[in-house]
């Protein structure tokens, strides 16, 4: 069977749907239904899966995997464009209500369902926010089912960001769908923690997601090297390992007999 991964907005995970007899391509817009609400989304991936893979995918996805309702037509895309244009007014209205309720939250985005039954306002905040009164105000204002979704700062960068420090479009806006966890240990594994937080942080002011890309390789290479502090034998005598160069696959050794002379030795020459 053929499965399509459909992205509704930048901050929610894509959902999987059966393509059925539809002839679709990546980049096509389709009409889908989630919990009785019709949405319009973009196909970001198509794949053939077996029955066993389907069962696994179904277990991982909260919603039942259902067929795509239909491919979007020109009228649907025109409606989507109008919805996008309305965002500015909807965001301003919501922000005014946030200010009125004196809530410590930053509004990031709004998503209106294709059938206009539901509106989801995405925001970031330091902790939990009691937004019950805000939901009542928004329901009264827009006469729709209102949902508020708290995001992380990485999600905000994914929505509003543009070019990364590397000079190209941020990974989270192109191919990186699962932002995952990035921590200081990964920077230490790759021997770049000394560069400081400014150089290691993205525009979200968190550690760059690209630190995850080569982390496993660095761990694998590090296992081939002796630990700092180990005493090893070299062609010039015994010495203490004072530094390891993971990418170069060498170690810096402080010799015992040559008044603390330091030499660099490839790992394949260690004894």
The per-residue pLDDT for 79 is: 96
Asked if residue 251 lies in contact with residue 209, where contact means CB atoms within 8 angstroms, the answer is: no
- List beta partners, residue 245: 250
| CB 98, CB 92: distance < 8 Å | no
Return the percentage of the chain with pLDDT > 70, whole number.
Answer: 99
Measured between alpha carbons, how far is 256 from 232 in angstroms, rounded to an integer? 10
The pTM of the full predicted model, rounded to 2 decimals, is: 0.72
| Average pLDDT of the residues in 94-121 | 95
pLDDT value of position 135:
97
Query: Between residues 162 and 243, which one has the greater pLDDT?
Result: 243
Residue range 115-141: mean pLDDT, rounded: 94
Match 């990364």 to its residue by tokens.
Answer: 164
Task: Give the residue-averaged pLDDT of 144-149.
Answer: 96
Q: What is the pLDDT of residues 30-86, one digit of tens each?
A: 999 998 999 999 999 999 988 888 888 888 877 789 999 999 999 999 999 999 999
7, containing H or E segment:
strand 2-7
Q: What are the tokens at 23? A: 């002839």
Judge whether residue 19 has pLDDT over 70. Answer: yes
pLDDT above 90 covers what percent of the chain? Answer: 54
215-246 pLDDT, tens digit per residue, is: 999 999 999 999 999 998 888 888 899 999 99
Q: Look up tokens 């150089």; give the residue.
A: 199
Give the pLDDT score at 271.
Answer: 66
- In this prediction, residues 262-270 reach a mean pLDDT of 87
- pLDDT for res 202: 83
Q: Which two tokens stand for residue 214?
A: 């080569």
CA atoms within 13 A on the CB side of 124: 14
Q: Average pLDDT over the chain, rounded to whole? A: 89
> What band does 11 get if pLDDT is binned at 50, 70 and 90?
confident
Q: Please, where are the H alpha helices in the chain?
A: 51-60, 74-100, 132-142, 153-160, 171-174, 184-189, 197-200, 215-222
DSSP state of 87: H
Q: Across residues 170-191, what is the average pLDDT?
A: 82
**231-234 sheet: strands from edge to edge:** 231-234, 237-245, 250-255, 262-266
131 Cβ contact list (under 8 Å, min separation 6): 101, 103, 105, 148
Where is average pLDDT lowest: 49-63, 115-129, 137-151? 49-63
| Residue-level pLDDT at 104 | 94
Position 126 pLDDT exceeds 90: no
State CA 265 to chain mean position distance.
39
Output the pLDDT for position 127.
84
- Banded pLDDT at 196 (limits 50, 70, 90): confident
> What pLDDT, on a 0 to 100 scale, did the predictor assign at position 45?
92
Could you tell me which residues are beta bridge partners of residue 30? 41, 71
Report residue 182 as tokens. Answer: 């990035």
What are the φ and ψ backbone dihedral angles of 266, each rounded to 5 degrees?
-65, 150
């Amino acid at each position: 069977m053929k499965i399509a991964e459909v992205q509704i907005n930048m901050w929610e995970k894509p959902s999987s749907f059966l393509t059925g007899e539809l002839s679709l391509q990546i980049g096509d817009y389709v009409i889908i239904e989630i919990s009785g609400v019709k949405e319009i989304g973009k196909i970001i991936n198509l794949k053939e899966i077996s029955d066993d893979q389907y069962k696994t995918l179904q277990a991982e996805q909260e919603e039942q995997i259902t067929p795509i309702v239909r491919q979007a037509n020109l009228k649907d895309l025109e409606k989507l464009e109008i919805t996008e244009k309305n965002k500015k007014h909807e965001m301003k209205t919501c922000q005014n209500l946030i200010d009125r309720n004196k809530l410590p939250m930053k509004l990031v985005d709004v998503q209106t369902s294709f059938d206009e039954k539901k509106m989801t306002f995405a925001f970031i905040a330091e902790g939990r926010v009691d937004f019950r009164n805000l939901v009542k105000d928004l329901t009264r204002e827009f006469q729709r089912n209102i949902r508020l979704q708290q995001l992380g700062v990485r999600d905000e960068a994914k929505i509003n960001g543009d070019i990364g420090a590397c000079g190209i479009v941020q990974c989270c806006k192109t191919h990186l769908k699962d932002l995952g966890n990035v921590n200081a240990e990964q920077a230490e594994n790759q021997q770049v923690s000394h560069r400081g937080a400014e150089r290691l942080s993205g525009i979200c002011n968190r550690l760059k997601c690209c630190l995850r890309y080569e982390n496993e390789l660095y761990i694998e290479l590090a296992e081939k090297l002796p630990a700092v502090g180990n005493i090893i034998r070299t062609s010039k005598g015994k010495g203490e390992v004072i530094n390891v160069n993971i990418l170069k696959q060498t170690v810096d050794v402080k010799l015992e007999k040559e008044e603390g002379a330091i030499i660099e030795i490839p790992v394949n020459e260690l004894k």
